[in-house]
Structure 1
């Protein structure tokens, strides 16, 4: 695959396209029988907020948006309370709201995304990446394991308990 893959900040004029990708992901979670993202979150307002705060990122394949993700530096209040223990107390990147365009599904895009997030984290001199997912999001649990993330415990987020993971980058 000689495609050019890039991770860059999302632009406000891309919010409808991103929301469309998120809606596909919400539906995929529902069809998988997951409770994650089934209560009206995330929504278009979430996307607008992410982009305006500089958290919204897209991974493009030949300039076409394939994946949306929110990358937040050092700020996830829910992570200050964990049933368990984080690996580190240093600076971290929080990964939220990963959504992949149906057209790019099943092509290993999320694994590539995590490689890009690790590069992003390293280039900013940040110690680790923290991420949480629903206990029934099997696809994400498999990817986190494959990418070497350590299970740290559970956090309470968006109305439910989530499995929390961390990977030390530097």
Structure 2
């Protein structure tokens, strides 16, 4: 499987939303509280795309995953209860979701590696991200890919674990 990370377009929004709905249901089935409050939703995805921040993981012509990628644009990260590894420019990703028909193939890790490539192509050497305390799958991926736990950030009143990886 040879996958690429591409900017999403508005015509892909409904298919992306289906993938995110699958992920929302998986989080719930796992007992996680992440994404159980009406966020994310189709309007969020459309906003990502309109701001050129929505990205699809493609296997040939098929969307197999989605994430939002932002540069230096996460205001909550300024309020970290903890300490970041760096204070330079950073890439942040949100809303990582893999199509349920493609789970177990390491695509989330592949997507994160492609995000690292995106950062380096933009001469950025820091990736910051966060996840719920109960998102075991993402916490495991952070550990496997060498992300360092930096503290807590808060979204919609909920604490989330924040991580950073400094790229060479």
Give the aligned length.
Answer: 168
Q: TM-score, normalised by structure 2?
A: 0.98
Report the CA distance between 1:127 and its aligned residue: 2.0
Report the CA distance between 1:55 and its aligned residue: 0.5
State the distance in 2 between where 1:29 and 1:101 align. 13
State the distance in 2 between where 1:114 and 1:20 align. 21
Confirm or deny that 1:143 pairs with 2:133.
no
Deviations 1:57-83 (A, max 9, x none): 001112211110000110101100011
Match of 2:55 in 1: 57
Structure 1 residues 11-90: aligned runs within 5 Å: 11-90=9-88
Q: CA RMSD in A?
A: 0.7
Bigger drift between 56-65 and 9-18 goes to: 56-65
Bigger drift between 105-114 and 139-148 goes to: 105-114
SS at match of 2:34: coil
State the distance in 2 between where 1:158 and 1:11 align. 27
State the distance in 1 between where 2:167 and 2:108 align. 18
Deviations 1:87-127 (A, max 9, x none): 01110011100011001111110111111011111111012
Match of 1:130 in 2: 128
State the distance in 2 between where 1:143 and 1:93 align. 17
Q: Which runs of 4+ in 1 moved over 3 A?
A: none
Could you list the runs of 5+ residues in structure 2 that have no partner in the other structure?
none
Deviations 1:121-160 (A, max 9, x none): 1111012000000000000000000000000000011330
Match of 1:10 in 2: 8
Could you list the runs of 5+ residues in structure 1 that have no partner in the other structure?
none
State the distance in 2 between where 1:127 and 1:118 align. 8
